[in-house]
């Protein structure tokens, strides 16, 4: 890439900002890394664009460093999960210690530094695979800015209280009649503007064509992730409740916290979670307690005391927990 910029020479300084320049006739290629197969490929550089000076950030991993803007995306995954995705360097700045980045030598730990000086950015568009190796670190094909548009000019961005950006991700495929068919898509939802709550929250979910969001399956994913990350087991009415299953079969287990005796052991496919667990009256109490533990969190850094960790039969204690949270936040809580 250094040769490409050298050939452009002083013309780069004359380029207009945010206007892509077609450079495919120069015949330069950049080494890419297929995130699915892990194989290296060479793909043609199509466009180059000059961006105005932006905050200067440096991503370092395994003795190599990548100089970029906060909007630049790198391919990372949580140390506690196998789900990988592209995330902006700026958003990872405070949480990079809990992630690893994909490099040409595998998954590695990395460091993000923010410099005081501003820097001018030269972004490229790559043919085919929309990611490329930037000094050994797998980066997203940043194109020339955000390609999305907002209907109505600036009226909606200015007056809206909340704006949510949806980004399509990996396709969901299923074998039908011996052939792979695309039946859905993974979607990332991020609040890019929020006047009523904390912005920049991000969540990923699946949309199945003709069926929409399968809420039961998404609920299962949230409960399973919480059970995997939770340091202490979720106790409901003296019983330990757990959801797990990395393969085709999933499990909902309820066991006595003292003796370890298994009371309920439900085995099901992910698509059967609603039928075999949610609609099962025998485990309603335990499922509700697990959901409370997953979604109802306390304030600050204290261990979040949930309605699942107390005696659900004691209305007095339930109201006491609600009152305690309300006094901390200065806001009233909705009644159940």
Structure confidence at residue 279 (pLDDT):
92
Structure confidence at residue 332 (pLDDT):
39
At 334, give phi and psi (nearest 5°).
-70, 140
Cα end-to-end distance, the chain, whole Å: 59
DSSP string, 73-138: EEEEEETT---EEEEEHHHHTTTGGGEEEEETTEEE--EEEEEEEEEEEEEEEESSSSEEEETTEE
Residue 56, number of CB atoms within 10 A of its CB: 18
Tell me if residue 318 falls in helix, strand or coil. Answer: helix
Give CA–CA dist 7/15, Å, rounded. 14
pLDDT tens digits, 101-110: 888 888 889 9
Q: Interior CA angle at 296 toward 314 and 313, to 5°?
A: 10
Could you write out the three-class secondary structure of 202-234? Answer: EEEEEEECCCECCHHHHHHHHHHHHHHHCCCCE
The top-level CATH class assigned to 2-140 is mainly beta
CA-to-CA dists, residue 172 to 18, 25, 166, 190, 283, angstroms: 33, 36, 17, 20, 31
- Burial string for 274-304 (b: 16+ CB within 10 Å, else e) reads beebbebeebebbbbbbbbbbebeeeeeeee
Structure confidence at residue 27 (pLDDT):
77
Residue 50, number of CB atoms within 10 A of its CB: 20
The residues that bridge with 194 in the sheet, in sequence order, are 162
Give CA–CA dist 97/112, Å, rounded. 9
Mean pLDDT per 10-residue interval, the chain, length 336 residues: 53 69 77 67 77 77 81 84 81 85 86 77 67 72 51 63 80 85 86 84 84 87 88 90 90 92 93 92 93 68 38 48 53 39
pTM for the predicted model, two decimal places: 0.44
Structure confidence at residue 8 (pLDDT):
56
Residue 182, number of CB atoms within 10 A of its CB: 10
Residue 240, number of CB atoms within 10 A of its CB: 19
Structure confidence at residue 223 (pLDDT):
92
Structure confidence at residue 310 (pLDDT):
38
Quote the tokens at residue 185. 């898509």
The residues that bridge with 107 in the sheet, in sequence order, are 102
Q: Which region, left, alpha or beta, applies to residue 145 given φ > 0 means left and ψ of -120 to 50 means alpha? A: left
> Domain coordinates of the chain in residue numbers?
2-140, 156-208, 215-329
Give CA–CA dist 1/31, Å, rounded. 10
CB 265 within 8 A of CB 208: no
């Amino acid at each position: 890439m250094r040769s490409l910029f050298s050939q452009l020479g002083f013309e780069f300084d004359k380029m207009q900002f945010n206007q892509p320049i077609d450079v495919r006739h120069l015949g330069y290629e950049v080494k890419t890394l297929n995130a699915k197969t892990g194989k290296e490929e060479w793909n043609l550089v199509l466009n180059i664009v000059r961006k105005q000076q932006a905050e200067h950030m440096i991503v370092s991993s395994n003795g190599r460093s990548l100089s970029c803007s906060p909007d630049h995306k790198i391919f990372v995954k949580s140390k506690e999960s196998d789900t990988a995705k592209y995330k902006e360097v700026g958003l990872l700045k405070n949480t990079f210690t809990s992630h690893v980045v994909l490099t040409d030598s595998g998954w590695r730990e990395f460091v993000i530094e923010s410099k005081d000086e501003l820097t001018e950015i030269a972004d490229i568009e790559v043919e085919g695979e929309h990611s490329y190796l930037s000094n050994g670190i797998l980066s997203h094909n940043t194109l020339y800015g955000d390609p999305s548009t907002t209907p109505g000019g600036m009226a909606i961005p200015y007056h809206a209280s909340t704006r949510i950006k949806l980004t399509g991700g990996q396709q969901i495929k299923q074998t039908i009649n011996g052939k792979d068919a695309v039946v859905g898509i993974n979607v990332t939802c991020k609040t890019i503007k929020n006047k009523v709550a904390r912005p920049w929250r991000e969540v990923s979910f699946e949309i199945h064509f003709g069926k929409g969001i399968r809420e039961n399956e998404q609920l299962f994913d949230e409960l399973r992730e919480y059970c995997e990350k939770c340091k202490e087991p979720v106790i409901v009415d003296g019983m330990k409740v757990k959801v797990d299953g990395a393969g085709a079969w999933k499990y909902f287990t309820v066991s006595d916290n003292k003796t370890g005796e298994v009371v309920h052991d439900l085995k099901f496919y992910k698509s059967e979670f609603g039928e075999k667990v949610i609609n099962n009256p025998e485990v309603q109490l335990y499922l509700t307690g697990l959901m409370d533990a997953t979604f109802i969190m306390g304030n600050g850094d204290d261990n979040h005391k949930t309605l699942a960790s107390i005696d659900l039969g004691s209305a007095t204690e339930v109201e006491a927990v609600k009152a305690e949270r309300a006094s901390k936040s200065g806001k009233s809580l909705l009644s159940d």
